[in-house]
Amino acid sequence: MARARLRDLGLSIGTLPPGPKNGITDVPGVLVGQVTLVEEAPHVIRTGITAIVPQDGEIWRRNLFAAGHVLNGNSEVTGLTWINEFGLLCGPLSLTGTFSIGAVHEGMVDAEVTLATGADFKMPVVSETYDGWLSESEHFVVRPHHALEALRRATADPVAEGCAGGGTGTNAHEFKAGTGTASRIVAQGGESWTVGILVQTNYGDRDRLLLDGVPVGREIPVTDVPSCFAQRRVEGSILVVVATDAPLFPHQLKRLAQRAGLGLARCGGLGWPGSGDVFIAFSTGNDLGQATDASRVLPFEKLRMLPDFALQPLMAAVVEATEEAIWNSLCAAETTTGRQGRVSHALPIERLPDIMRRYGRT
Active site residue 100: no
- Out of 100, 275, 283, 329, the active site residue is 275
Q: H/E element holding 52?
A: strand 45-53
- Out of 127, 277, 329, 344, the active site residue is 277
Query: Crossing angle for the helix pair 312-332 and 250-267, nearest 10 degrees?
Result: 50
Q: H/E element holding 171?
A: strand 171-172
Contacts for 211 with CB less than 8 Å, ≥ 6 apart:
11, 13, 267, 327, 352, 355, 356
- Gap between the terminal Cα atoms of the chain: 20
Helix and strand totals (H; E) in the chain: 7, 15
Active site residue 94: no
Integer Cα distance of 279 and 260 in angstroms:
7
In Å, how far are 6, 161, 330, 355 from 352, measured between CA atoms?
Answer: 9, 18, 12, 5
For residue 250, count CB atoms less than 10 angstroms from its CB and return exposed for 0-12, middle for 13-18, buried for 19 or more: buried
Integer Cα distance of 261 and 127 in angstroms:
17
With contact defined as beta carbons under 8 Å apart, do 357 and 17 qualify? no
- Out of 237, 283, 329, 344, the active site residue is 237
Active site residue 135: no
φ, ψ of residue 64 in degrees (nearest 5): -130, 155
Q: Can you say whether the dihedral through the CA atoms of 325, 343, 141, 129 is positive or negative?
A: positive
Q: Indicate the SS3 state at residue 12.
A: coil
- Name the residue among 253, 257, 304 with its Cα closest to residue 283: 253
Integer Cα distance of 29 and 13 in angstroms:
25
Can you say whether residue 288 is alpha, beta or left, with left for phi > 0 and alpha for psi between -120 and 50 degrees? Answer: alpha
- Name the residue among 165, 197, 208 with its Cα closest to residue 279: 197
Task: List residues with catalytic annotation.
Answer: 237, 275, 277
